[in-house]
Amino acid sequence: MREIVFHTLTSEKTGVVIENNHINEYVIDRPGVKALTGAVFVGRVQNIDHGLQAAFVDIGEGKHAFLGMPAIPWANESIHTTLKEGEYLFLQVIKESKGNKGPQVSADITLPGLYTIYQPYGGKTSISKRLTPASTTHLQSELEEKLSPVEGCIIRTAAADVNPAQVLKELEVLKEQWSQITTQQLRKPPRLIWKDEIIPNQLIRKFPLNSLEAIIVDGVEESERLKNTYPSIKDKISWNPKRTNEVARRLQDMQMELIDSHLEIDGGIEIVIERTEAMTVIDVNSYKYKGKAFSNSQTLDVNRRAGKEILRQLRLRNISGIIMVDFISMKDTSAAEHLLKEMKNLAKKDLVRTQILGITRLGIMEITRKNEWMSPLQLLQENPEPVLTIETAVFRLERELLFGVGKNQEAILLSINPQLKIVKKQLLSGSISSKIPQELFVREDPSVSHYQIELEGSEDMIREMIHKRGYHVDNVF
């Protein structure tokens, strides 16, 4: 069973999904970070591209949004007979902007509930693929009676487990919500008019309702608001400060674990997760078994345990796109097939579409995972700047002093990290100061990354500065 714990009192809102006492998903909603998927805008058509059969729409977010003709429910034969430049229309973001590209939008608006998804321009009623038409025939006809020919809705899987009256009531609430949203168009467009918050709404709706054991929040007001929003599951919603405090403390430690690319699991297995621009590469090491021969069964056992944790980490870190996993080499083809089958079965538990594609001739397992929301790693970790080794810095400094700085000056003031001085003595047998015509003054400064040319000029000027600042300097380096 699942438990969702929300922290909404803090400026940074978080949602944590706990299964069997393991945190398996972690979602962050941080001020200043825009996640527009699901948001509804009033947009203005800026220009129409006949070749692409698409329109570029100003939604007030800087970059123009892309609206393809298949995403317009009332589309005619061509884009120029469907839309006009300068026209205003309601649009929903279906894909976030990336790089120079603006977001992708749809005119087929969807307002999701627990049991239905209301479509103001859907034009038909459809059912979840997990439901049989026979089980929803009566409900479907009742819903259609409440919809105009323009409107539509989708019956979600959870509708099969509740009284039809609850489903009909929810549809009425969603219709009223849309009516309230559209009244905002009177204010100056283009602009955002409604946002489907990830925390708590999208995260609650993500999971089958019968799999949710508890929804715990950190505030009384938020608890009551959620109970009013989702009356059919109000018995699962509670305010529990003790539990939310406990999870908050776990989060502090977990954040540091998430940004660590090296992960150790039971049995001496190490998993290394490296993200690149194009893909995520994962390596499985059995470092505690180095020098020992593995039997086929041992290799399979290690890979199975690693594979299970890898799929958990994909959910926890919300890693998407192309994923390549280098498991421990398996000479037995039947063992590789067994691992592949098991990984496919485990991947089905991830509600985000995850495909195990196969194993390459090099023994690399290929996985793809759909992009959903923002990975917590994008918010928790800064991209480190490339850093040269301290040995490289020594040789760069030598070259710079011999051929670069201070050619027309009498003296140079150089500040260095104390560690660079130690490494320089190990690498260079002679002094650099004896090779240059300038007078070299060197001071040690732990705050300097490697080295810094602090001042060039006359010897008197540099000596005066050293005296004023009380520097301790050496002339031999």
CB 267 within 8 A of CB 287: no
Question: Helix 390-403 to helix 418-427 angle, to the nearest 10 degrees?
Answer: 80
pTM as predicted: 0.73
Mean pLDDT for the stretch of residues 437-462: 87
Question: In the chain, what is the straight-line distance between the N-terminal and C-terminal CA atoms, in Å?
Answer: 67
pLDDT at 294 exceeding the cut of 80? no
Enclosing H/E stretch for 261: none
pLDDT digits (tens, 9 = 90+) for 374-387: 787 777 777 767 77
Residue 108 binned pLDDT confidence (cut-offs 50, 70, 90)? very high
- Rounded CA-CA distance 93/61 in Å is 11
Average pLDDT over residues 68-74: 89
Q: Which domains does the chain have, with CATH numbers?
A: 2-34+197-256 (3.30.420), 43-194 (2.40.50.140), 259-380 (3.40.630), 390-469 (no CATH)
| Predicted local confidence at residue 288, as pLDDT | 63
Residues 384-412 pLDDT 10s: 677 788 899 888 888 888 887 666 788 88
327: DSSP letter: P
Quick check: 4 pLDDT over 90? yes
Neighbours of 301 (CB within 10 A): 15
- How far, in Å, are 201, 215, 237, 239, 329 from residue 225 at the CA level? 11, 13, 10, 11, 53
Q: Around 211, how many Cα atoms within 13 Å sit in the side-chain half-sphere?
A: 15
Whole-number Cα distances in Å, 117 to 96, 168, 184, 281 = 21, 12, 21, 37
